[in-house]
Copies of this chain bind each other. A is one copy, B any other.
Amino acid sequence: MNAPATFPTGAATVDTAPLRRFVTGFAALLDDTEDLDLILERGGALLAQLVARDTWLQEEYAQANPDGYQQYLLHCDSAERFSVISFVWGPGQATPVHDHRVWGLVGVLRGAEKVQSFGLRDRDGALVQLGATRDLLETEVEAIDPRQGDIHRVENAYADRTSISIHVYGANIGAVHRATYRATGEERPFVSGYANTTIPNIWDAARSA
């Protein structure tokens, strides 16, 4: 288990430095390279550092909603080169089967998730699961690579508590036109949006620990 926060994670008291360092580090990475393998490798290492400690997420971006999983934007790059999102699953909640159409990285901050990958069958275009359902455990990171297929379904591994993962995508993901999939393989248009109208101010160094 990740160490619990050592101080109350209220808006005014949370340490904004870990997320600020992550964002500036990711910007430097994208300034350095456009090679997707490098972005996923080095970006994955940065995300692993971020989710290794659970001390920096304000409570308002960690709230589950009984109506369904929540996507709280934490940061969007000025040029929409990348966005950072807190995904919050209440007990037993799951996404529909969906795609991304941009690269992504997922790191589990709290709890665990079950992940299923899918492809479309050559013969009739129907949705088929690829490989076994797998667990993504607290502090683990995985990549979403559209070159290798990016259709999946993600579910809270727990029926009795909230799980939270931190996602990074190669776009302002809440505005990307993408799709969910029926069992037949039929696509339905999907624009996820965000649950939050305000995002954390991580830029006030005076408020950092």
Give residues in A with beta carbon < 8 Å to B.
11-12, 23-24, 26-28, 31, 60, 73, 75-83, 172, 174-175, 191, 193-194, 196-201, 203-207
**Cβ contacts under 8 Å, A207 to chain B:** 193, 197
Known contacts A27-B78, A28-B79, A77-B78: A201-B205 contact under CB 8 Å: no
The residue of chain B having its C-beta at the shortest distance from the C-beta of A26 within the complex is B78
Top 5 A-B pairs, shortest CB-CB distance: A27-B78, A198-B198, A27-B79, A175-B205, A76-B203
A17–chain B nearest beta-carbon distance, Å: 11
Per a CB cutoff under 8 Å, which of B79, B199, B205 touches A198? B199
What is the minimal beta-carbon distance from A170 to any residue of chain B, in angstroms?
13
A174 and B203 form a contact (CB under 8 A): yes
- Within 8 Å CB of A27, what residues of B? 77-79
Chain B residues with CB under 8 A of A206: 174-175, 191, 193
Is B175 in contact with A78, judged by CB distance below 8 angstroms?
Answer: no
CB contact between A203 and one of B28, B194, B204 (< 8 Å): that residue: B194
Nearest chain B residue, comparing its CB with the CB of A193: B206
